[in-house]
Chain A
Amino acid sequence: MNIIFSLLTIAVLIVLAVLGAGTIKLDFLFGIIFPYAAVSVFIVGIISRVIKWAKSPVPFHIPTVAGQQKSLPWIKSSKLESPSSTPGVIGRMALEILLFRSLFRNTKSGLIDGQKLVYGSSKYLWLGAILFHWSLLVIFLRHFRLFMQPVPSFVLMLQNIDGFFQIGVPELYVTDILITAALLYLIYRRLADAKLRYISLASDYFPLFLILSIAATGILMRYFYRIDILKIKEFAVGLFSFHPSVPQGIGILFYIHLFLVCVLVSYFPFSKLLHMAGIFLTPTRNLANNSRMKRHVNPWNRPVRVHTYDEYEDEFRDKMEDSGLPVEKSNSLERN
């Protein structure tokens, strides 16, 4: 059900683009208004979301650590898995954000000949995730060759690396293959694994299909239905430099691509895709394991009812004295 709903939504979006940009020729709307609107929604949405997160304080110092603490000087502490200092935290966060450290932790154990214990890894999820995210980033950066004139040098470099194999004309980008394969795997595992099928919502399938559709239209434009790259560049540079002009005769495929990107970008702040921003703020990862070294202050620390020692002694004074425990205020004189 969830998956059908997601597919239908994508289909409706494509039909909208075809009808809107192709049939009714709302070029201005699809070519200029939507992109600006989407980016505005994205920026405002992300910023307001991050502000909302940041407004909620971090009352307690609750990192989840995954290694030896820094305690006695002769015990080697794990600086990245249980960092006690800021550089360590930065390192831990970098491992998490750039290399998906926690997903890499998945191990599976097995026995060889029923005796020898071995550990294999179950790292498909890690592999799929890391290929997808890195490819997406490279592809995103590569697109700057369309937005900017002259093309920045890092973009040219990326392009060269990405097209390293120099297969075909135009040369094949490795990331195009990788992102498609990774997305197909990520969709596959949601369907093939009963656990995941059970937990997956429409909002889990939808972004996967959406990005896959964007990748597919992009690939079609680059490798199969060659479109006029110069016109696109002219249009993109115009958009990017706030001198937009409605592109002429680019073809419907481009509009579908652009429209889906707009949908993705504006969907971002309202969805789980926020994890991109949220990961920086997660208190179980971005705090150092120095809880006993440095006092963490809770801004709303509020008074609670306590049972004071005096109240305690008042209740139990006789029993305490009878059993020879020291007390603050003795009753024994009065009792005698």
Chain B
Amino acid sequence: MIKELLIKNKSKIVDKWIQSIYNSYPPEASKFLGNRKDRFGNPVGYIIADSAEKIFDEFVNNNNNERIKLLLKEIIKIRAVQDFTPSQAAGFILSLKEVIYKELELEVKSGNYFNEFILIDVGIDNIALMSFDLFMEAREKIFQLRTNEIRSRSMKIID
């Protein structure tokens, strides 16, 4: 069963995935982000690592969309205000595919688990689509908050 393999290789897969997310930051920062022990001294690194691990657990065990969405949102909110294009900001989930396939290369090549890999593939695509929704949600929130500020300022001037 692939599920067991995923659980067994969890720490390797999750670590590599998290690292690939960190690597999307400038190299001088990605190393720092990788020091994820300090929840308050290093919020970006911590939130990425913490949420990514939980997303993986949820994906492997229950695959509950609502739960995944909540976790995903934490990361997307950060990347939506940083220097990323939309695809970079929301597409980080796709690198999980790559990491899984590389880690389970033998199983992929054996062809024995074709159906299960299709499920993983579709599942991650599904999460990627959710990411784009969440990215848009975050951006809309930003624009809404910005608009509120502009409005309240011009109200003061009109008054």
Contacts and interface: CB of A to CB of B under 8 A. Distances in A.
Interface of A: 107-111, 193-195, 197-198
Contacts of A197: 28
B30 A110 contact: no
B31 A110 contact: no
B29 A110 contact: no
- Ranked 3 nearest A-B pairs via Cβ: A194-B31, A198-B28, A108-B38
Interface of B: 27-32, 37-41
Contacts of B32: 193-195
Contact of B39 (A107, A109, A194, A198): A109
Task: Classify the secondary structure of B's interface with A.
Answer: helix
A111 B28 contact: no
A287 B7 CA distance: 59
A111 B41 CA distance: 12
A110 B28 contact: no
A111 B46 CA distance: 11
Nearest to B36: A110
27 contacts: A107-B41, A108-B37, A108-B38, A108-B41, A109-B38, A109-B39, A109-B40, A109-B41, A110-B37, A110-B38, A110-B39, A111-B39, A193-B31, A193-B32, A194-B27, A194-B28, A194-B29, A194-B30, A194-B31, A194-B32, A195-B28, A195-B29, A195-B31, A195-B32, A197-B28, A198-B27, A198-B28
A115 to B, nearest CB: 12
Contacts, number: 27
A195 B25 CA distance: 12
A109 B40 CA distance: 7
Given A108-B38, A197-B28, 5 more contacts: A109-B41, A111-B39, A193-B32, A194-B28, A195-B31
Contacts of B28: 194-195, 197-198
A259 B39 CA distance: 49
A192 to B, nearest CB: 9
Contacts of B30: 194
A110 B31 CA distance: 18
A155 B64 CA distance: 73
B73 to A, nearest CB: 19
Nearest to A106: B41
A180 B79 CA distance: 43
A107 B40 CA distance: 10
Nearest to B35: A108
A109 B30 CA distance: 20
Nearest to A197: B28
Contacts of B27: 194, 198
Contacts of A110: 37-39
A148 B27 CA distance: 53
A216 to B, nearest CB: 30
Nearest to A114: B50
A26 B116 CA distance: 80
